[in-house]
Amino acid sequence: MNGGFSLARVFAMLGKEFIQMRRDRLTLGMLIGIPLMQLFLFGFAINMVPRHLATVVSISDPGPFSDSIVAALANSSYFDVVKATNSPQEARRMLADGSASFAVEIPANFSRDLVRGATPELLVEADATDPAAGSYALAAIPNLVSTGLRNDLKGPLASRAFAAPPVNVVVHQLYNPENITQYNIVPGLLGVILTMTMVMATSIALTRERERGTYENLLAMPTRPVEIMIGKITPNIFVGAFQSALILTVAKFVFHVPMIGSFGLLATTAMIYITALLAVGYTISTVAQNQMQAMQMTFFFFLPSIMLSGFIFPFHGMPQWAQWIGEVMPITHFLRIVRGILLKGDGFGEIWPDVWPMILFLFVAGTIAVRRFRRTLD
């Protein structure tokens, strides 16, 4: 009876923790509120890649080429061609008074230069009061123009259709994120939100007991470190599962993220990921003397997690050392798993290379947490 692990004591801890969690409305509200807030902020920020921007086209050189360019712009969802004019002055005026966000100018001799094999300039002026808003549309222009002109570049001009761009569009060149961005971001948010809330929730587990003076009482009783840890972590596993369900529901029904792969596989890996995060949080709580310290340490873990995981920067674009750190972080693997399962329909075989590092991480973090746990107040 003395000494060993006791399931009864684990249940005692669990009962206590669930009651305390239920009573702590603020924290509980935050654990549900933060994910929703982040999801909608991030999700809609990405969703609001501005489309249907009012555009005026000034044509100093009417002809089939200009018609094609106008048609290409009008057909893309980025631009609404509100007016085609032959007066560049009018176009500029519309830009100035805000009735158009873009002015596209097809200069004189455009067709002649194009046919001769020169590379005429297509002048794009953008309302720069919100530079970010137009950047996606701007980035799309060269492609739209090339595609639009392809039909016109026939016969003797055919060689130009697929060669270097026939037209020099004077805008900044950005990579084109059309289509995939949102699908990538929302599943990524699952990993990021869990990292933040799960680590934060457990990082104060023991710290709060310490601050309130109840830690001494807990230590004076015959509770063992592992029992306390299980008692502290388990309620948060439920919270994490609930958060995941919430995020995936919103992802599916609000952001229409495709979900191709197995839900069971996703749920299982999410559990491993959540538990690994809780072990990190619990380790923090064995060290932190007060809740302020716990928060600081949480962010110390959180920042590299989102920066080096491939969530913000493309993983393989990072320097080697950053990739190594990224590989250690469970979020890096979880992001790959979630995207793999949701978007590509990956099965167990495909995700295993990213599953075992998470399990290893969980094991190491759990061991450190139990080791770090002090049975005395020293």
Partner 1 sequence: MSTHQNAIDVRGLTKHFGKKTAVNNIDIAVPEGQVWGFLGPNGSGKTTTIRMLCGLLNADAGEGTCLGYDFRSQSEQIKRETGYMTQRFSFWEDLSIRENLDFVAEVYGLPRRRALVKQTLEKLGLESRQNQLAGELSGGWKQRLALAACTLHSPKLLLLDEPTAGVDPKARRDFWDEIHMLSGQGITVLVSTHYMDEAERCDRIVYISYGDIVARGTVSEIIAQSGLVTFTIAGDDARQLAGRLRGLPGVVFVAFFGAVLHVSGYDRTLLEKALAPYRADPGLTIGETTPSLEDVFIQLQEKTGGANV
Closest CB to partner 1 among residues 148, 231: 231
Helices within the chain (DSSP H only): 7-23, 25-47, 64-75, 88-97, 110-116, 131-150, 158-162, 180-203, 205-212, 214-220, 225-253, 263-287, 291-307, 320-328, 330-339, 348-372
Residue 377 found at the interface with partner 1 (CB under 8 A) = yes
Tokens of 187: 């599943």
Tokens 């805000």 locate to 98
Closest CB to partner 1 among residues 130, 216: 216
Residues 6+ apart with CB under 8 A from 374: 286
Please report how close the Cβ of residue 8 comes to partner 1 at its closest, in angstroms.
6
Beta pairing, strands 79-85 & 121-126: unpaired
Residue 249 found at the interface with partner 1 (CB under 8 A) = no
Please report how close the Cβ of residue 1 comes to partner 1 at its closest, in angstroms.
7
> Using CB under 8 A, which of 26, 48, 97, 213 touches partner 1?
213
SS3 state of residue 275: helix
Closest CB to partner 1 among residues 226, 254: 226
Number of residues that bind partner 1 (CB under 8 A): 30
Residue 12 found at the interface with partner 1 (CB under 8 A) = yes
Q: Which stretch binds partner 1 (CB under 8 A): 46-54, 123-131, 149-157, 221-229?
A: 221-229
> Using CB under 8 A, which of 132, 220, 314, 349 touches partner 1?
220
Residue 298 found at the interface with partner 1 (CB under 8 A) = no
How far is residue 31's CA from residue 274's CA, in Å, rounded to a whole number?
A: 14
Distances from the Cα of 261 to the Cα of 194, 251, 264, 284, angstroms = 20, 15, 9, 34
How far is residue 34's CA from residue 246's CA, in Å, rounded to a whole number?
A: 12
Distances from the Cα of 175 to the Cα of 139, 178, 335, angstroms = 7, 9, 22
Closest CB to partner 1 among residues 48, 221: 221
How far is residue 247's CA from residue 187's CA, in Å, rounded to a whole number?
A: 8
Beta pairing, strands 79-85 & 53-59: parallel
- Report the amino acid identity of residue 374: R
Please report how close the Cβ of residue 375 comes to partner 1 at its closest, in angstroms.
8
Residue 15 found at the interface with partner 1 (CB under 8 A) = yes
Residue 212 found at the interface with partner 1 (CB under 8 A) = yes
Closest CB to partner 1 among residues 178, 216: 216
Closest CB to partner 1 among residues 26, 132: 26
How far is residue 132's CA from residue 313's CA, in Å, rounded to a whole number?
A: 18
Residue 2 found at the interface with partner 1 (CB under 8 A) = yes
**Sheet with 102-106, edge to edge strand ranges:** 79-85, 53-59, 102-106, 121-126, 168-170
> Using CB under 8 A, which of 86, 176, 214, 296 touches partner 1?
214
Please report how close the Cβ of residue 237 comes to partner 1 at its closest, in angstroms.
21
How far is residue 26's CA from residue 302's CA, in Å, rounded to a whole number?
A: 22
> Using CB under 8 A, which of 52, 170, 216, 360 touches partner 1?
216
Residue 132 found at the interface with partner 1 (CB under 8 A) = no
Residue 9 found at the interface with partner 1 (CB under 8 A) = yes
Closest CB to partner 1 among residues 316, 375: 375
Residue 11 found at the interface with partner 1 (CB under 8 A) = yes
* Cβ contact 109:62 at 8 Å: no
Residue 223 found at the interface with partner 1 (CB under 8 A) = yes
Contacts to partner 1 from residues 16-55, by CB under 8 A: 16, 19-20, 23-24
Tokens of 316: 């393989």
Closest CB to partner 1 among residues 172, 374: 374
Distances from the Cα of 320 to the Cα of 66, 176, 325, 332, 356, angstroms = 48, 25, 9, 15, 21
> Using CB under 8 A, which of 1, 26, 132, 164 touches partner 1?
1
> Using CB under 8 A, which of 175, 221, 253, 349 touches partner 1?
221
Please report how close the Cβ of residue 265 comes to partner 1 at its closest, in angstroms.
37
Residues 6+ apart with CB under 8 A from 207: 285, 288, 289, 290, 291, 293, 294
| Positions in the binding site for partner 1 (CB under 8 A) | 1-3, 6, 8-9, 11-13, 15-16, 19-20, 23-24, 212-217, 219-223, 375-378
